[in-house]
Amino acid sequence: MSRNSITQAIVLKTYRIGEIHKGVTLLTKNTGIINAIAHGAWKIKSRLRAHTQLFNYVRVYLYYNPVKQSYKITDIESLRLCDMIVKSLKKYYIVSICAEIILKSFGGGESVKEMFFLFLSVLQTLGRICDDEADFILIQFFWRFLLITGHRPDFTHCHHCGTSLPTTSGIYSIKGIPGFVCTSCKHPGAIQLNSGMIKYLENTEQLPITQSLCYKIAKESETILKEVLSAIIETCIETPLQSLKQQFKEYV
């Protein structure tokens, strides 16, 4: 393996190492998630400082030390800054949820490249839409994440008993079950999905994210889809999402 490499990446997380060094967790285009150190990046005058900001889309020059098994950022340039995102609390929150899901699913496992382009598309689209449309992007991320990782729930058969699900109504989601169930299998606390929500997901899942914004659903349906899909993701990745718990009601 070559010790020097250049790759496109998105900054998923940053942390402090000692006084002035910055640890940077990157979602890279080809190799998934890696941790790298940016020496001196907390210094005010450091060139690396601005380019290693959270959610920046960058071209990064890496040096791999095979003895320490660690990456060092030797240079970095921003391909897209995150300034449009961080100016909006809502958009920042949405991107934080996406980043947490990517981190906790280890970059989507084998689907690294698709995950990279999905997250990039989320960042680019959020950068040019208003706050009111931002929730649709979160729903699209949730759904596409399930699709990419092979966890997309089936609309046609009950996850529990296997019976055919109706196309009009009578499709339910139960917390802890990574699929939809029928009327007979539902129990108290189940959330009902209507045909509009199902149609929305089916009609948009193959479109580029920007074009998916042409389809809209009612505010109440939006809220239900966010709740249902995030719960399915938590079940699939087998861990609760902290960013969701803390601020779900407040901002989304």
Residue 241, phi then psi, degrees to nearest 5:
-95, 115
Q: How many residues bind Zn ion (CB under 5 A)?
A: 6
Binding segment toward Zn ion, per CB under 5 A, in 1-9, 86-94, 153-161, 172-180: 153-161
Cβ proximity to Zn ion: between 110 and 154 the closer is 154
Residues 167-196 that bind Zn ion (CB under 5 A): 181-182, 185
Tell me the closest approach of the beta carbon of residue 158 to Zn ion, in angstroms. Answer: 3
**Nearest alpha-carbon partner for 169 in 158, 179, 183:** 183
Cβ proximity to Zn ion: between 167 and 246 the closer is 167
How far apart (Å, rounded) are the C-alpha atoms in residues 244 and 72?
A: 32
**Nearest alpha-carbon partner for 112 in 148, 72, 76:** 148
Identity of the amino acid at 107:
G
Binding segment toward Zn ion, per CB under 5 A, in 10-18, 55-63, 155-163, 171-179: 155-163
137 touching Zn ion, by CB under 5 A: no
Cβ proximity to Zn ion: between 71 and 172 the closer is 172
Residue from 79, 89, 161, 207 in contact with Zn ion (CB under 5 A):
161
Tell me the closest approach of the beta carbon of residue 139 to Zn ion, in angstroms. Answer: 25
How far apart (Å, rounded) are the C-alpha atoms in residues 198 and 148?
A: 18
Tell me the closest approach of the beta carbon of residue 198 to Zn ion, in angstroms. Answer: 16
How far apart (Å, rounded) are the C-alpha atoms in residues 34 and 36?
A: 6
Cβ proximity to Zn ion: between 127 and 179 the closer is 179
Residue 75 class from Cβ within 10 Å (0-12 exposed, 13-18 middle, 19+ buried)? Answer: middle
Tell me the closest approach of the beta carbon of residue 227 to Zn ion, in angstroms. Answer: 21
How far apart (Å, rounded) are the C-alpha atoms in residues 97 and 90?
A: 11
**Nearest alpha-carbon partner for 243 in 108, 119, 102, 81:** 102
Q: Which one-letter DSSP state was computed for residue 240?
A: -
Residue 135: both structure tokens together? 């929730």
Cβ proximity to Zn ion: between 55 and 172 the closer is 172
160 touching Zn ion, by CB under 5 A: yes
158 touching Zn ion, by CB under 5 A: yes
Tell me the closest approach of the beta carbon of residue 163 to Zn ion, in angstroms. Answer: 5
**Contact set with Zn ion (CB under 5 A):** 158, 160-161, 181-182, 185
